[in-house]
Structures are given as structure tokens and as C-alpha cells.
Structure 1
């Protein structure tokens, strides 16, 4: 590729060469202060609305209106089987086999359900390893889970912290800590991408290291699903969960997905919290005592499908599939993020003013750069908003910029870089 340039014309030339440029038109772009589409760099917090979402929900409203309860069994998409309509696309999304995934519930609910099954401490193997500074829901979930087993969080939970003076974790240090904990380690649960720094972890290496000491290994993929090319089955990951409202554009508070490796597909003895919808469908409606789980991840379901959120998710997944799946999205994502990095680094601002804390290695990050602003960070965030650039503010002083390949353009990224350059010049 030609050497990057910071100009609008150069960004427009990149957009003209972009094979995914037409997908931007499939989303509703919020207007900026001038009434023109904003540069929406906040898809790592809430993705934009696909234009097909409203019609997808309206179809289910019509089915409810016309059929009532019979909508469960009749029509083009009977609700009885609705989660199955999402399975194949979800499996492709995370690199799994269809039996290993199901869409259900919300993210933290699913994390708790999985930890009930995959955090089973004993007197000697009771520690759980997570990254320090994980998203609060993960921290709260693990604290409550260890307490359910009568353990103290400060004794059972081990947090991984970067080396002094560094912002992100080294894979070698994670592997070494796992080896050090050895047969005291019950479970590893790490975010596939850290929400604050944007670091993408080497999930294959972490899984291998965890298994080497006899631990189970899982990931919270809230910031990884729809962002990274995932290969959960080939990486031999035991379990994972993800939300769908960030990079998967499935609406605020949207539904969630889980992955459970097929080695657990037929393990009715595995402890779990049971619900009617996870029971063997062959005799589900006989209403008998005695839970017999469905094979695979579907056996972790509790209640029948959330049709309206799932309808939005189905529409959003179809856009991902139409774009060529994660391989195509990841190619553009790496280019967008690299261009954003170029625009920020060319400013040559001192680290005491503005510092990128996301790894420079494209393999160690997703569609996000976290910018640590040491002085007047909130002022910069507000300035960007006034210029029609929507970013994300995280306390105490980080601005997250996330160019998403489905709807962000290189011109969006160039606008952000130019605005930060202008702000820096004014702040001097």
C-alpha cells in the first residue's frame, strides 16, 4: 500500500478502493452537530443500527399479531426453533462447530451459567485467574462465584498485572503465571480483548498453558466477537460467552451467545443451572421431573427464545455474512486501525500529553486504539464530540477510538486525526 498521508483526498482514495465501502449504507449513521453523518468511532460500546433491523422485528410483531401463540409453531420462522436460525452463523463467527454454540440470555447471565459448570473448585485446586482491570461485570461475577463456594475472593482470585511501567500484559508472563499456579489453578477466565486497553490476548497460547496444568480455560468475548477472527474450537477453548450489541450491531442490551467445546456436548453429569428450554426437546412438553439436557451448548438454555432481540441479531448477522465474514472484516479493520495509528503518531505529541496504550502489533489488538490523555482529556473528548466525532470516554483519562469495518470509512478516521491535531495545536 502507498505510504499513508493525512489528507482528506488520500482518505477518500482509500475509501474508493475499499471492497466493503457499500456496507456503510446499510446502517443508520447518527448526525453530527452540522447535520451531516458523524464519524462514529464508538462501535466497541454500542454498534450502529442495521437498516434491516426494524423490518426484522416488524415481521415478528406481525406473526404475533396474526397467529398469537401459534407463532411458536407456524410461519416462516417459528419461535419454537428461533435460536436454531442463529446457530450456523454464530458458529462461523467464533470458529466453532454448530453443536458448540447457542444464542440466549444476556452476557453476564451467561457468564454466571458457564462458571457454575466450569469453575468447580476443590480443596487444593480452587484458584481462578483473570486479567487485572477486567470489565467490572467480570470482576463481580467471579467474586460472587467464589463466594458461592465458601471461598474468599482475595484468596481464590489471582489477577494478572502488567509489568511496572507497561500498560498491557505479555503472553510469556501470562503463561509463566499459569505454570506457577500449577495444580492450584481451577479456571482461567480472561477477556478476549481488554475493554480498556484494547489488547487482544493470544487465546490459543493461554488455552494451551491452562490445559497443561489441568485447568479449564474460558473467555469473555464481549470485545472480541465481531472484532477478531476467532477459532475457538481449533484453539481447544473450553467455554466462552459474548454480547452482540458492540461489534455485532444487535441493539442496546441485545442478546448473547455462548460456546461450549463439544467434549462437553454429552455430559449430563456436568453441574449446571437447568431450565425448561435446555431440556431434551423429545419430551420437553411432557412436563416431567428430571432434567435431561440437550446435547451441546443448547443444553445450557434456561427459557424460551427472546424473539425480538434475536430478530435484530439475525438481521445483523446476515450483514456480517454478506460482507464475507470475519476474514474480510478483519482485513479492513487492520487497515483502518493502522491508518488511525499513523495519524496519531505523526503528531509527535509527547507521551506526557497523549499516549497510545493499545499494542502496536496488529495481532495484539482489535478495532480500537485507547489514547491516554494526561492533561485535559475530558476537554479533548468534548471537543471531538463538537466536531461530530463520537468516541468513548473511560475514567480516569482514556479516550477509546474504534473504527469498525462495516460502517466506518477511512475519511471517518482522517477526520478524527485532523480534529485531534487541531485540538493539540490550540492547546499549546
Structure 2
């Protein structure tokens, strides 16, 4: 007989470690599992010395959040521990974040955090504690699928966090549980009120938790003082329009803050960190129709190679806030490519491309990868820019 977590034990004999960030979501997970009779252990990770960001509304995993998690554990009556993961977080999340930006990419640190600190290091700790599962407050579903488990988009699509969890391995998926997958955010807050949790109305955490005041460039400049090397701002037609103070101050699709005035709206089209150039152009040049991927994590039942050779139709997300769109997974010259059937604007290397079997709530997550290069047909056709087959390792995208 399976319990509510699909584990063949009575709830009272099932030990569950809950990753408690101090927010309402993970607090409710701990509360409902404790109420269902599980042996719940709460663990909060201290990830960084937050300073100002520890007091900023929406920050997480530092300062007040640790106190909130501790207080929640006291209210519901479970043991709670704080683990110092600052060194791990710096090495596996913050440093790669800075290096990626210096390479002209737009990284997603939440993916790296889930992939390493939370679902590798914390999961190993949970196993060492004899836990049967690690539960988190992510909005995503996990269900049994044959001999293993699969991930699915949640009921509350406005809170869908599958984009940040695509890199979860099959072994991790089998051990993880996500009790909020069938709840909406208002329902979660109502449960928090029901249990008398002080975090019931607490604001949601920000995506980049370690960035004070939302200025990621401050973090990069502190970690990499040489990040602000100047270079040219170049129009897509080849004209040099001005100078910049460092490529880390720009992202693909950016319009404001470019620092030049030409009488026409211009957007950042590409960034070449090696040449220290930022290329700008009209909005039509942002339309992307093909992606080359690296670091692919595949959770589909068909092998990745077979799926690519068969030009598999699927749905993909290239930004967390956008709905999945139709695409084709294929292979060319040994690379895995994604053909975006409807095109997307402002896609940047370093972002994630996440695969789904379908659209809507309950759609299975098939995996994803990091965007290595992009192809923009308008750039090639109108401005005769260089084609999609760029030099391997080149930080430039077109």
C-alpha cells in the first residue's frame, strides 16, 4: 500500500526532509506533511552573506528567511537545521554566473542552484539522514511512470517552475517530491493561514536571490574587477555608433540604457565578449528561429539520439515567463538543434530551452539544455551577417 508520497510505507515510518527556504511554499509543504503523519525534518541552507539583500523584500535563503523557517518549524513541531552551504553556492552558482555574463551570455542561476546545491548536495545529505524522500515547495508535479517517476507542469500554470527544474536527473526525480503540484498559490497561502504560519502573506522570492537591489552588474564587478573592459557599440549594418564600458552591462533584447541616440529604436542583437563588441539593430533582428544546445538533460522515454534523428515535434520554453511554443528537435553535424516554428524574440545564449511533450497543465517535462548559439533569419537575409555555423567556442551569437 502506497502512502500519499507513493512510498510503500506507513506515513509514520516515512522520513521526509523538507528544503525550507523560509517562504510560504516550503513552509506549507512541511506543515501538510507533518499533519499527514510523516516524520518531517526541516533543513534550511545558508547560501550567502546577504548583507543588504538579506533585508530586501523578496530575497531568499539568507538573514530573515532563516529565522522565518526556524519559526515555522517551531509552530508545526518539527526539528529544523541550518546548513552552511555558502562555499558550495559560491563555487557552483555565483562564480559560474559571473563567468557566463562575462562571456556575453544571460545565465539562469536558479537552474544551477537546483542542479547542484539543492538536488545534488542537499539530496545527498537527505540520504545520509536516512530519508525516504526530499520534498520542496516548487510548483511542479511528480508522478509514477512505470518503474520511475516523471515531471509534469503543475495545475497553477502562473507559478509553473518546471523551467528551472529541467536539469534534474532521473535518479533525483525518483527521490524528490513536490506536494504543491496540485495546488494554486492562493490555496497554498490559505493553508498557511490555517496552520497559523507567520509567512502566509510573505512576498515571493526573487529569481536571483543573491543580487542586491536587482543590480547583477554589481555582483560581477565585485567578483571580476576586469569585467568592465570598454569596447564598440556597432550597428548590425557595420556602423560604429559609440563605446561602452563593458559587455556585462548588456543583455540580448535590451533597449533602454544602451547609451546611444540615433533617432530610431535600437535593441541589443548580439554580444561578442571576445571582441568586446555589442551589436545593435531594429527589433525585427531579434526574431530567432533556430537554437544550438549544450549540456542537455533528457528525461524523455525515447533516447535523445533517436528523438533527434526522427525530428521530433515537441513544445519548448525559452523563457520562464513565456508559454511553451511548438518546435522540432533535430540533429545536424553532431549537434542537437531546436527549430522554433513560430520564432521567438530576444533569445540569448546561457538561457535554458526546456522541452515538453505537450502544452497546458499536466504536460510532461522531457528535459532541456543550455542555449549555446542562436540563428536569426532576418539578420542573415537582410544584413548578410555571418551564418548559423559559427566557430566552435565563439561567444558571439547572431
Q: TM-score scaled to structure 2, two decimals?
A: 0.30
Hey, which of these two has a bigger chunk of strand by percent?
A: 2
Q: TM-score scaled to structure 1, two decimals?
A: 0.28
